[in-house]
Amino acid sequence: MAEAELSRPAGTAEDWTVPQDWAAYSPAEHAMWDRLFARQAAMLPDRVVPEFIAGLDMLRMDKPGIPDFEALSERLMKATGWQVVAVPGLVPDRVFFEHLANRRFVAGRFIRRPDQLDYLEEPDVFHDVFGHVPLLSHPVFADYMQAYGEGGLRADGLGAIDRLARLYWYTVEFGLIRQDSGLKLYGAGIVSSFGESKFALDDASPNRIGFGLERLMRTQYRIDDYQQSYFVIDSFDDLLRQTIETDFAPLYRRLEGQPDLEPETVLPEDHVYTLGTQAYARAKAPGCPLPSEELPHDDRT
C-alpha cells in the first residue's frame, strides 16, 4: 500500500526496503499466521478463483509459519519473475509504483496481535503475503500488476493517482471475477479477510456490478468497512488487455469533467449482477440504533 506524503524511516534502504529478519519472528507470531491461514484455507476453496489456490500450492504457502520472503521470492521468480520485498509500513506512491513496475511486491513484515484478529488499520504480512502473493504466480495477473505500476508512474506525472488508485482498490484489493461456476473472489482485501470473504459473495447488501474501467475510476470507495459495491471482471486476460490498451491520459481528462459516484451508486447502463439492499451499510450509518458489538469487523487493507 502507498501513501503520498511520508518520510523514509531510519534504517530503510533508498527504495524503502528493509530485511525481513525472518529469524526474529517469535513462536507466537508464527502461530498467529497459522491460525489465520487455517481459517482462510477452510473458508476459501469454493469461493476463491482456482488460480489463487494453485498459487498457494505452487508457492508452498501451506508450510507452517510466516513465509520466508527469500524462499518465497525464489519460487515466485521461477514462475513469473516477481519477488517479495519487506517494507516497514506504508510507502510513498512513487516508491510503490517503482517496485511494482519492476516486479517487486512490497510487503509489511509485522503480523497482527491476537486482539487484532479481525480488524487492522495497516496491512500486515498476512494480508500482504497470503492475500496478494498467490496470484503473482499467475502469468497474466503478474503482468497486470506490473502494468499497474507503470500506469502509476505515468499517473503521478498527470496528477491522477487518486483516479488510478480506484482501479487498484476495486480489482487488486476487492475484485470479483465471473467464472462458469459463478462469481469468485480474487481481491487480496477480500481473500485475507474472514468476514469479507463471506460478505462479498453471499450477503444481500452490496452491489455486484460488471467491470468498466471508466465507471470504476469515477467511483469512491470505503476504506473503513466492507465495500458497498464490488466490480466483476470477465477474466484476468480481459483486465490486462483493457489496462494495457487504454490510453489513460485522455481518460483522466474526460473524468475531470464528471462528478464522482458514491460507492453504492448504480447507473442505468451498469451490468448489474446483484442489486444490493445496502442494509449492512445503512445499519452502520451514524445514528443507527444497533449496538456496534453486533456488527462484524474485519481487517482492512
CB 108 to Fe ion: min, Å: 9
Number of residues counted as binding Fe ion (CB under 5 A) = 2
Question: Within 154-193, which residues bind Fe ion (CB under 5 A)?
Answer: 188
What proportions of the chain, in percent to the nearest 5, are helix, strand and coil? 45, 15, 40
Site string for Fe ion, 187-226 (x = CB under 5 A): -x--------------------------------------
Q: How many CB atoms lie within 10 A of CB 156?
A: 17
Q: What type of residue sits at position 91? A: V
CB 103 to Fe ion: min, Å: 17
* Contact between 137 and Fe ion per CB under 5 A: no
Report the residue closest to Fe ion, judged by CB: 301
CB of 122 or CB of 270, closer to Fe ion: 122
* Contact between 227 and Fe ion per CB under 5 A: no
CB 301 to Fe ion: min, Å: 4
CB of 1 or CB of 101, closer to Fe ion: 1
Three cell numbers at 93?
Answer: 506512491
- What length does the chain have? 301
CB of 125 or CB of 188, closer to Fe ion: 188
- State the distance between the two ends of the chain, measured CA to CA, in whole angstroms: 8
- Closest by CA position to 213, among listed 241, 185, 174: 241
Backbone angles phi, psi at 185, to 5 degrees: -90, 145
Strands 176-179 and 182-185 turn out to be antiparallel
- Closest by CA position to 107, among listed 115, 117, 119, 99: 99
CB 127 to Fe ion: min, Å: 6
CB 187 to Fe ion: min, Å: 9
Helices (H), 226-269: 236-245, 248-256
Q: What type of residue sits at position 166? A: R
Q: What type of residue sits at position 27? A: P
CB 292 to Fe ion: min, Å: 25
- Closest by CA position to 142, among listed 50, 56, 236: 236
Helix (H, G, I), strand (E, B) or coil at 69: helix
Q: What type of residue sits at position 125? A: V
CB 188 to Fe ion: min, Å: 5
CB 249 to Fe ion: min, Å: 26
Q: What angle do CA 223, 224, 226 make, to 5 degrees?
A: 85
CB of 123 or CB of 276, closer to Fe ion: 123
CB of 138 or CB of 276, closer to Fe ion: 138
CB of 76 or CB of 188, closer to Fe ion: 188
CB of 90 or CB of 188, closer to Fe ion: 188
* Contact between 301 and Fe ion per CB under 5 A: yes
The residues binding Fe ion (CB under 5 A) are: 188, 301
